[in-house]
A and B are shown apart, each in its own frame.
Chain A
């Protein structure tokens, strides 16, 4: 990656400054003549120009791709292509056609030359006008810990103005210093610099320093190691917490619709997973429409998919409630069987329409990529899902607590006949409540289409987890579902490093089975006579 980047950069610069390229040409040509010492001299001159256009040439030399064309003595880059080699100009990168392998001769390098090459490369890239290149160069030095680069680093540091690059250079310098025979005082300063850096690379360097340096360096390094390890453990925990939060929000999304249908209405909907699946396929369809008619607006497709998925899953939910579930109220186990049957039929329907294979659902640009937060790496996709899960949760909470519809739902679930007597159309409320739960499952499908395979089996993967979350949190309690989802997500992720993903999951299942024995009504259960009835 780094090399490709510097190639591109170099190519750009080469195009922008043809005059320099012309000046470099004889110096490059000199690389191919004479002994190792001659090559080294030519290299030194090339480095002295301070022209970053020379970087790809030197890199090619380093990797052994730089050759002399026997016919005219021109220095070219030759890379294997088919039976022969493909030639390119080392400075401009322009293609020079193909040739037989015997038509070129490799410019050989020895160890002394190899060191000079690193130094020259370091010096050149550290001086690059582009701060990103300079930073990469500094990072490269940090990794190589090449003592030869020290001088170049110091020169570059003296000129460096960018704060970030400066820090990277300082750290690189510290790494080099620890690797050199510098006096202890310098090494101790270097240890401090690395301690401030505090990541796993720094830890490796500090360990090396602790094992090789003098007594004083050793003591300082060990203290630094302890401090870095502690810091890393904290970041590790934070990363696990984030993964847990991320998994928890996925569980929350999958379970929250169930918290309505199962938790509030007491309906066991085994086809809940298929509602999620329908949401995911709705996303796929919306994206197809965007791809066909408005590819430029693709980034908005997810936003359009949200209401579409909600309505699609919600409509299927209402249809299921009206046609099947309403005949089975008060018979939970039979509801379980009937909805399981529906889930089989829905899966097969989707399989017949869309085929059994995974469907491609793309991520909008604002959901791709990642950023770093201290020692954490956070992908935008996951971040949005966490945010989305909490938004859906909050919206549902408000809908149930603050709206007239929510009041009706609570009235009907708490005392059906009384609600009916008050003029609430209970059948309608049942259908709409079930539709709401299913619609939320559809919303979950939109989010899950971003992180999971969109296939007819999508829902199957979530149904057991969702029930676990709702039962663990306490049926009929939305906050319980929230806490349940986050707790199970975190426990899962904290177990994973020790037990592995599968065993971790098994342990969580066993934990829940045992937990339900202790508290059959979940974490936040209502107590009292009402629930006994």
Chain B
């Protein structure tokens, strides 16, 4: 498959910190509209992979292309985000001093330059969109609350809501259900599946039950490169994967 038809194309990406190879010639392809789960033991390079895609970390070597042509390694975080790549962090990071509404308004797709934001005022469409997201995430009653006062789960949802407001082509979601109750986990899975229809999604997760619930193609990372790829059942049967997970 050629790079042109892909949404995200990683080839031979390596990163090392002080001699430690966090990514070791990692190659990965995401197709438009695809949802992909990434699993792997601690230190497999999952978060670092997110970092290099979103521009937080610059790879030492390798190619990262978006929509077949744009070289992501040449861009900084904001530029990459504006191409349409959204990211949700492992620990929920929302703007705690702002209200729920303001958090969504900041994330909402709109011109990002300072002078534009200085004179910005929400249009009817903007407000409608924010209302819609508030409904989807169930945060409508708390729209005027400061985000800092939300519960852990609500913050996760708000962050997913912010991703929706951003309307990215590709979403990177880092452990969205860590610390959630079973009911919340289920709801989150449903929400992500809804999103997957219109967007491509990469989910990094430890929780196998959650991954199974998503029912998508799985990539197993180990020591900074891809160990196996396929359905969850297929990779679960893979002897190498079993060895890695059982630490043999």
Let me know if B120 is at the binding interface, CB within 8 A: no
Segment 490-533 of A: residues with Cβ below 8 Å from B: 526-529
Q: Which residues of B contact A526 (CB under 8 A)?
A: 18
Segment 273-331 of A: residues with Cβ below 8 Å from B: none
| Distance (whole angstroms) from the CB of B72 to the closest CB of chain A | 19
What DSSP secondary structure best describes chain A's contact surface?
Answer: loop
Smallest Cβ-Cβ distance to A531: which chain B residue:
B17
What DSSP secondary structure best describes chain B's contact surface?
Answer: strand
The bracket for how many chain A residues form the interface is: under 10
Q: Which residues of A contact B17 (CB under 8 A)?
A: 527-529
Q: How far is the CA of A529 from the CA of B48 in the complex (A)?
A: 9
Number of A-B contacts (CB under 8 A): 9
Interface string of A230-263 (1 = CB under 8 A from B): 0000000000000000000000000000000000
Segment 45-92 of B: residues with Cβ below 8 Å from A: 48
| Distance (whole angstroms) from the CB of B89 to the closest CB of chain A | 12
Q: Which residues of A contact B20 (CB under 8 A)?
A: 528
Q: How far is the CA of A527 from the CA of B58 in the complex (A)?
A: 13
Q: How far is the CA of A526 from the CA of B22 in the complex (A)?
A: 16
Q: How far is the CA of A526 from the CA of B17 in the complex (A)?
A: 9
Q: How far is the CA of A527 from the CA of B17 in the complex (A)?
A: 6
Q: How far is the CA of A527 from the CA of B22 in the complex (A)?
A: 13
Interface string of B12-43 (1 = CB under 8 A from A): 00000110101000000000000000000000
Q: How far is the CA of A528 from the CA of B48 in the complex (A)?
A: 11
Q: Which residues of B contact A527 (CB under 8 A)?
A: 17-18
| Distance (whole angstroms) from the CB of A524 to the closest CB of chain B | 12
Q: Which residues of A contact B22 (CB under 8 A)?
A: 529
| Distance (whole angstroms) from the CB of A517 to the closest CB of chain B | 16
Q: How far is the CA of A527 from the CA of B18 in the complex (A)?
A: 6
| Distance (whole angstroms) from the CB of A527 to the closest CB of chain B | 6
Smallest Cβ-Cβ distance to A528: which chain B residue:
B17
Smallest Cβ-Cβ distance to A529: which chain B residue:
B17
| Distance (whole angstroms) from the CB of B22 to the closest CB of chain A | 8
Q: How far is the CA of A528 from the CA of B17 in the complex (A)?
A: 5
| Distance (whole angstroms) from the CB of B223 to the closest CB of chain A | 16
Q: Which residues of B contact A528 (CB under 8 A)?
A: 17-18, 20
Smallest Cβ-Cβ distance to A527: which chain B residue:
B18
| Distance (whole angstroms) from the CB of A520 to the closest CB of chain B | 15
Q: Which residues of A contact B48 (CB under 8 A)?
A: 529
Q: How far is the CA of A61 from the CA of B17 in the complex (A)?
A: 83
Segment 370-386 of A: residues with Cβ below 8 Å from B: none
| Distance (whole angstroms) from the CB of B216 to the closest CB of chain A | 28
| Distance (whole angstroms) from the CB of B142 to the closest CB of chain A | 29
Q: Which residues of B contact A529 (CB under 8 A)?
A: 17, 22, 48
| Distance (whole angstroms) from the CB of A477 to the closest CB of chain B | 13
Q: How far is the CA of A529 from the CA of B20 in the complex (A)?
A: 11
Task: Choose among B18, B20, B22, B48 the residue with the greatest number of A CB atoms under 10 Å from its CB.
Answer: B18
Q: Which residues of A contact B18 (CB under 8 A)?
A: 526-528
Q: How far is the CA of A528 from the CA of B43 in the complex (A)?
A: 14
Q: How far is the CA of A526 from the CA of B20 in the complex (A)?
A: 13
Q: How far is the CA of A154 from the CA of B48 in the complex (A)?
A: 85
| Distance (whole angstroms) from the CB of A523 to the closest CB of chain B | 16
| Distance (whole angstroms) from the CB of A525 to the closest CB of chain B | 11
Segment 133-184 of B: residues with Cβ below 8 Å from A: none
Q: How far is the CA of A13 from the CA of B64 in the complex (A)?
A: 94
Q: How far is the CA of A528 from the CA of B56 in the complex (A)?
A: 12
Q: How far is the CA of A527 from the CA of B48 in the complex (A)?
A: 14
Segment 190-233 of B: residues with Cβ below 8 Å from A: none
Q: How far is the CA of A526 from the CA of B18 in the complex (A)?
A: 8
Q: How far is the CA of A526 from the CA of B48 in the complex (A)?
A: 18
Q: How far is the CA of A527 from the CA of B20 in the complex (A)?
A: 11
Q: How far is the CA of A529 from the CA of B22 in the complex (A)?
A: 10
| Distance (whole angstroms) from the CB of B197 to the closest CB of chain A | 34
Q: How far is the CA of A442 from the CA of B67 in the complex (A)?
A: 62
Q: How far is the CA of A528 from the CA of B18 in the complex (A)?
A: 6
Q: How far is the CA of A136 from the CA of B48 in the complex (A)?
A: 76
Q: How far is the CA of A73 from the CA of B22 in the complex (A)?
A: 104
Q: How far is the CA of A528 from the CA of B16 in the complex (A)?
A: 8
Q: How far is the CA of A529 from the CA of B52 in the complex (A)?
A: 13
| Distance (whole angstroms) from the CB of B244 to the closest CB of chain A | 21
9 contacts between A and B (CB under 8 A): A526-B18, A527-B17, A527-B18, A528-B17, A528-B18, A528-B20, A529-B17, A529-B22, A529-B48
Q: Which 9 A-B pairs have the closest CB atoms?
A: A528-B17, A528-B18, A527-B18, A529-B17, A527-B17, A526-B18, A528-B20, A529-B22, A529-B48
Q: A526-B18, A527-B17 are in contact. List 5 more A-B contacts (CB 8 A).
A: A527-B18, A528-B17, A528-B20, A529-B17, A529-B22
